[in-house]
Chains A and B, each alone.
Chain A
Amino acid sequence: MTFADLAAALLVPVLFPPLLLGVIARTKARLSGRRGPPLLQPYFDLARLLRKGIVRSRTTTWVFFAGPVVGLVTALFAALIVPLGARGALVAFPGDLVAFAYLLALGRFFTIAAALDTGSAFEGMGAAREAAFSCLAEPAAFFALLVLVKLSGSLSLGEMLGPSLPALWTAGAPSLGLAAISLFVVLLAENCRIPFDDPNTHLELTMIHEVMALDHSGPPLALILYGSAVKLFAYGLLLVRMVTPLELGSTVAGVAASLAGLLALAILIGFVESVMARLRILRVPSLLVGAGLLSAFGVMLLVG
C-alpha cells in the first residue's frame, strides 16, 4: 500500500460521510420543489454542535456518554474494513466481514443502552425498535455476504470486492443482483431511512433513531450525527463496491469511482425518501424478512 492509498483509506472515511447527508437533503429538497440547505450544511451543523454546551438528564450515568463514543468509533472502524477501491482496505484479514457486522453491533448495543439510560418511555420505544429491526436485518446482510463468499472463495472483503469482482459478476450475476437489492434494503433499515424510519418526522412516537438521541445535546449529539453518517458511508461503500465491478488501474480513479458511486447512492436514497412514505412499524419485519429471503435465494442459486 502506497502513501496515497493509506492517506485515502484513512481520510476519506473521516471526511466524506457528512456530505452524503447533505446530498440526500438536497435531493429531497429539489424533488419537493425547494432549494434546500447547502451541501455542506451537515459539516456546519457538526461544527456548531461541537461548540455548544451540554445539558444532561439527572437520570443518566456514564453509559449515556459511552453510547455516542462507541457508536462513532465502531462506525469508523467498520468503514476502514470496507475497501475504498480495488486496492483493498486498511484493515483486512480473513473473516473481516464478521468483524464489520459485529463492530456495528457493538455500536448499536451502546447506543441502545445510552437511550435506555435516560429512563424515557419514548427513547425506550426507539431502542426496542432499533434492537428488533436490526435482528431481522442481520441475517439478510449475512446471506448477501455469503453470496460474495461463495462466488469468490475468499473470506476477506478486500479480496471479494477486489480485482476479481468483474469475474464474479460474469459467474453469478443473478445471485449478486439479488444480494445487492437485499443489501440496499438492509442499508435503509440499518441507517434508519424511509421506509423504515423517517429522519425528519416530528412525532416522537413514530421515530426510531432520532428518538434515541432526544436527550443528547452539544458534542455528544455531534458524535451521534457524525457516527450515523459514517455508518451510512460504510454500508454504502460496501454496496457501491459490490455493484461497480470496474477495473481501474490507479488509486485515484478507484477512489473517485467509489465516491461518485456513493454520491449516486445518496441521490437514490433521497429519491426513495421523496417518493415513499414510512411503513407502519408492524409491517417493517415482513419487509426485512423479505430482503433476507431474497438474498437467501441468491445463495440457493449457487447450488451445484
Chain B
Amino acid sequence: MTTAVALAAIACLAASGFAAAGARGLGAALADRIGAALVLAGAALGAFSAALALAGHGDQLVLRTSLPGGALVVGVDALSALFVLPVVVIAAVCSVYSLAYFPASAHPREASRLRVSYGLTSAGLLLVLVARHALVFLAGWEVMAIAAFFAITAEDRDPEVRDAGFLYLVCTRVSTLCLLALFALFWAATGSLELVPAPAGRIPVALESAIFVLALAGFGLKAGVVPLHVWLPSAHAAAPTHVSALLSGVLIKSGIYGLLRVVSLLPDTPLWWGESVLCVGVVSAVLGVAFALAQHDVKRLLAYHSIENIGIIAIGVGLALAARATGHTEIAVLALAGALLHVVNHALFKALLFLAAGAVTRATGSRSLDALGGVARAMPVTAFFFLVGAVAIVGLPPLNGFVSEFLIYSGLLRTVATDTGRTWLFAALSAPALALTGGLALACFAKVVGAVFLGEPRTAAARQALEAPASMLGAMSALAGLCVAIGLAPFLIAPALAAACSTVLSAPSGVLGAPLAALSRVNVGVLALCALAGVGLGLRVARGTRGASGTWDCGYAAPGPRMQYSASSFAQLLVRAFAFALWPRTHAPRLAAVFPAPDAFHSEVPDVVLDRVIQPATDALALALNRLRALQQGSIHAYLLYVWLALVTLLVATGVSD
C-alpha cells in the first residue's frame, strides 16, 4: 500500500499544473488555488507514504511489461522515505507561497507553464526516489530534469534567464549521459536493471570503480559539487523564487540520493571511494562558501551556499563510506545520519531563506545587497524568519543546522580518536575545514542580514517596502517552525534516521540516541536562557530608556545611509584572503590629475570554473568542431554515401565481434 500511495502522490503532483491550466476559464485566482490544492493533496499522500515506510511498512510494486529490461519495479523504503519527506514539504510550502508571489493574474503568460513544469518537476523527483528499476529511475530523472528547465526559464524574456537555462540544460544532459553509462555497466555486470544489491564479488573491481566514478560525475553534476557546480548559481538566480527554493532545497539532493542508492547496490566498497567523496565535500564546502561571500546578488549568494551545504553533506557521506570500508560501523552511522539529517535540514532552512529573500525582492524590486538595508523595520516578520534561517544555515545552536553538523563532527572526531589507519588524517583535516566553512558562513550571513535587514535603508524602495502577505508569511512560518522543532527535539527523528541508515549500512541501533538527547538539552537550555535574559533586559530597557538619538558616528555631523558599511566592504577582508581561488575583478577609481574625473568603484567575482575553465574549453571545442562543417555538403549524394559508409562500418564491427 505504501508504494501505491506514493504513486498516487506522484499522479496528484503531475496533474496539479495541468488542472490549473485547464481551469483557467474559471478565473486566474481559482485556477491557482486548484493547482495548489492538488500539490497539497499530493504532498499529504507523499508524506503519508513516507511515514508508513519509516514505520517499517515499506513495500514494492511490480509492473510486468513487454519492455526489454524486465518487469518495472517501484518501491518505498526508509532511504526513499527520508528524501520524500523534504520533497513533499518544500513542494507544498512553495506552492502556497507562489499563490501570492507568482499569481496567474500578474503573470498571465508564464503562470500556466510554470505550474505545469513545477508539478512535473516534483512528480519526477518523487518518481526518482521510488524507482527500483534503472528505466524507471531514468524516466523520473528525465522528467524532473526537463520540467525543471521549463520552470527555471519561466521568465524567458530576460536573456540572462535564457542563458542560465541553456547552461542548466547542457549540464543536465551530461549528467544523464553519465547515468546511462552507469546503468549500462551495472546491467553488463549483473544482467539486471533492477536496483537490488549485487552479491559480493559479482562485479569485477575495475567495473565497480567505473560505476562509482560515473555516479560521482553524474550525480555530482546534479548535486552541484565543485567543480561541477557551474550551472547552479545562474539557474537559481534566474528561476522564480519558489522554484529556486525547490531546486536548492530538494532537486539537487536527488544527486545525493542517487549516489547513496548506487553505493547501497555495491556491498564492498574500497576505502578510496569514501575518501574521494570526503575530499570533494571539503572542497565544495570551503569554495562554495568563499564564493558566496563575494556575491552581491542575494539569490546567487544563496545558490553558492547550496554548494557549500552539498559539500557538508558529501563530507558526511564520504566519511560514512570510509568508515563502512574500515568496519567502524558506529562512525558510519553517525556520519550518514548527520548527512541525511542535513539533507532534510538544508531543504528546510534554504527554502526558508529563499522565500524570505523572495519576499524582500517582491517588496523592493531589488536582489542587490547594496541597494537594500533597514528592511527589518518595514518587514519585521520576514526579517525574523530570515534571521531564523540564517542561524540555522550557519549551523548554530539552538536550531536544526547545528544538530546535523554536530553529528558529522562527531563522526569526524571519533575517527580521529579511534581510527588507526589513514582515514583519521582525512578526518583530522576535514574537521578544521568544516570549522572554517562554519566561520565563513557566519560571516556571509552576518553580511546578508546586516546589509538587507539592518541599518538604514539605502534606497527609497527599501524604505517604503510593505510586509509580505499572509500566505507567504504562513509558508515561511511552517519552515521556520520545523527548523526550531528539529533543533529542540532532534531525538524525535532518530528512529527515522536510523532506519534510513540501515538501508546503506548494517547499522547497530541506538548510536544516535545519546548525542541527540545531549544536543536537545543544550539547545533547549540556550534558547531558554536567552529568552529569560532577553525578557530581563527588555524590561530594564523599557524602564530605563532615556531617549533616542541618531547613531553615534564618531563626531561626524551628518551621517547618511550611503555611508554605512556595505556588503562588499564587509566581505572585503575575507575575499582578499581567498583571492587565490576567487580571482575577484575590481575596478578602482584612479585619481590622476589635480581635478580627477568622476569615477566609481566596482567589484565582482564571476565563477572561476565557468569563466576560466569551461568557457575556454568549450570555445576551443567549438572551433575544432567547425572543421567538420566540410562534411556538410548539402548534396544528397554525399549524405547517401555517409549512410552507406556507416552501414558498412556497423556491419563490419558487429561481424568482427561475433
Contact = CB atoms under 8 A, between A and B. Distances in A.
A69 B387 CA distance: 16
Interface string A131-170: 1101111111111001001101111000000000000000
B587 to A, nearest CB: 21
B463 interface: no
* Band of interface residues on A: 35 or more
A58 B432 contact: no
Interface string A87-130: 00001011111110111011011001100111111111101110
Interface string A262-302: 00000000000000000001000100000010001001000
Contacts of A59: 374, 455-456, 550-551
A32 B316 CA distance: 53
B62 to A, nearest CB: 44
Interface in A156-215: 204, 214-215
B391 interface: yes
B436 A120 contact: no
Interface string A31-43: 0000000000000
A99 B406 contact: yes
Interface stretch (B320-328, B353-361, B526-534): B526-534
B454 interface: yes
Interface stretch (B11-19, B230-238, B564-572, B609-617): B564-572
Nearest to A51: B544
A12 interface: no
Interface string B540-576: 1100111111111110000101011100011111100
Contacts of B525: 77, 91
A73 B515 contact: no
A57 interface: yes
Contact of A127 (B445, B530, B551, B565): B565
Contacts of B405: 102
A9 to B, nearest CB: 15
Contacts of B397: 99, 102-103, 106
Contact of A113 (B406, B450, B553, B571): B450
Interface centre among A119, A127, A128 (most CB of B within 10 A): A119
Contacts of B428: 143, 146, 150, 299
Given A118-B455, A131-B570, A215 B565 contact: no
B573 A129 contact: yes
Contacts of A53: 544-546
A173 B396 CA distance: 33
A59 B563 CA distance: 14
Given A95-B413, A135-B442, A149-B416, 18 more contacts: A53-B546, A54-B540, A57-B551, A69-B533, A69-B534, A77-B526, A102-B397, A105-B439, A113-B454, A116-B446, A128-B573, A135-B574, A136-B439, A150-B428, A219-B541, A219-B544, A223-B533, A285-B577
30 contacts: A53-B545, A54-B541, A56-B548, A58-B548, A58-B549, A60-B551, A63-B454, A65-B541, A93-B515, A95-B515, A95-B518, A98-B413, A103-B526, A108-B442, A119-B456, A120-B564, A123-B551, A123-B565, A124-B455, A128-B570, A131-B443, A134-B439, A135-B439, A142-B431, A142-B432, A150-B428, A155-B414, A215-B551, A219-B540, A220-B541
Interface of B: 373-374, 376-377, 380, 383, 387, 390-391, 394-397, 402, 405-406, 409-410, 413-414, 416-418, 424-425, 428, 431-433, 435-436, 438-440, 442-443, 445-447, 449-451, 454-456, 514-515, 518-519, 522, 525-526, 529-530, 533-534, 537-538, 540-541, 544-554, 559, 561, 563-565, 569-574, 577
Interface of A: 52-61, 63, 65-66, 68-70, 72-74, 76-77, 91, 93-99, 101-103, 105-106, 108-109, 112-113, 116-125, 127-129, 131-132, 134-143, 146, 149-150, 152-155, 204, 214-215, 218-220, 223, 281, 285, 292, 296, 299, 303
